[in-house]
Amino acid sequence: MKNTVSIGTARTARRSNTSNASAFYQHNRCLPIASLSPDSDIKRIASNGAKIAHCPKSNAKFGHGYAPFEAFLDAGIAVGLGSDSVASNNTCDLLEESRFAALVARNRTNCGSPHEVRAFSSPKFISAKQMLETATLGGAKALGLDHLIGTLDPGKQADIAVISLANIAQQPVSDVHTALVFASNARDVVKVLVSGKEVVLD
């Protein structure tokens, strides 16, 4: 996407030229990765209407640090999930990405190096329902396509993934959101429709 930039580049630009840095946070820009974003960056992203593509597994694999997913949500920033690429994320599985994002966010603490960037003061409990919303509507908002996709509403495209909950590892299913985020993966997808047209059937 031509409007996608690295938030690391944006921070460098902000230090050297404030006006150039502001361009990185423009409305409709989608910023990938966004690890170790300080409060000032988060406020600027939110005030300018930029979006975030949160790629927690890619960050973890390369040791790039933690993107403060919770702080992005608290600031009202549109956040979608990204898998990055096979070079940094072997599975590129959105359900696995959802699970990893939730677990890392829940486990986040304030211990660590005194030089580490602190984007917020306390961890936030991210629910399975919040993760599913981030993976669907959040991604649509981050791409500026929430008027077309992200939810099943009249007038929108019927983009649907049918996920089986029959796997023994998913049992018992006491909450569908929890079963999808914490007990499912791409192998449980049995049908995919794009704009109402079946493109995958297992």
CA distance 29 to 9: 14
Both 135 and 173 in one domain: the answer is: no
Task: Indicate whether 173 belongs to any domain.
Answer: yes
- pLDDT value, residue 11: 41
- The DSSP line for 121-182 is SS-----HHHHHHIIIIIHHHHTT-TTTSSS--TTS---EEEE---SGGG-S-S-HHHHHHH
Would you give the end-to-end CA distance of the chain in angstroms? 31
The CATH number that applies at residue 71 is: 3.20.20.140
Contact at 8 Å (CB) between 35 and 83?
no
- Cis peptide bond N-terminal to 154, omega within 30: no
Both 132 and 166 in one domain: the answer is: no
Structure tokens given for 15:
């230090």
- pLDDT value, residue 16: 38
Task: Indicate whether 153 belongs to any domain.
Answer: no
Both 106 and 64 in one domain: the answer is: yes
Which residue in 75, 95, 93 sits closest to 84, CA to CA?
93
Both 36 and 78 in one domain: the answer is: yes
- pLDDT value, residue 19: 43
- pLDDT value, residue 4: 45
Helix segments in 17-110, DSSP class H = 18-24, 39-48, 56-62, 69-74, 94-107
Both 120 and 188 in one domain: the answer is: no
- pLDDT value, residue 140: 96
- pLDDT value, residue 121: 45
- pLDDT value, residue 165: 98
- Give, to the nearest 10 degrees, the angle between helix 7-16 and helix 39-48: 100
Instruction: Please write the tens of the pLDDT for every residue from 182-192.
Output: 999 999 999 99
- Domain span at 109: 7-142
Both 120 and 168 in one domain: the answer is: no
pLDDT tens track of the chain, all 202 residues?
A: 444 444 443 443 444 344 445 555 666 677 776 666 677 788 888 988 889 999 999 988 988 888 888 889 989 999 999 988 887 888 899 999 999 999 988 887 544 444 454 444 445 688 999 999 999 999 999 999 999 999 999 999 999 999 999 999 999 999 999 999 999 999 999 999 999 999 999 8
Judged by DSSP in three states, 96 sits in helix
Burial of 103 (0-12, 13-18, 19+ CB in 10 A): middle
127, 128, 185, 200 from 181: Cα distances, Å: 9, 6, 8, 21
CA distance 122 to 130: 18
Q: Could you tell me which residues come within 8 angstroms of residue 181 by beta carbon, excluding any fewer than 6 positions away?
A: 95, 98, 99, 102, 128, 131, 132
Both 164 and 77 in one domain: the answer is: no
Both 68 and 17 in one domain: the answer is: yes
For the chain, the domain total comes to: 2
Task: Indicate whether 147 belongs to any domain.
Answer: no
Both 31 and 57 in one domain: the answer is: yes
CA distance 174 to 22: 46
- pLDDT value, residue 112: 47
Both 106 and 172 in one domain: the answer is: no
Instruction: Please write the tens of the pLDDT for every residue from 79-116.
Output: 999 988 887 888 899 999 999 999 988 887 544 444 45
Both 106 and 138 in one domain: the answer is: yes
- pLDDT value, residue 9: 37
Task: Indicate whether 13 belongs to any domain.
Answer: yes
- pLDDT value, residue 107: 82
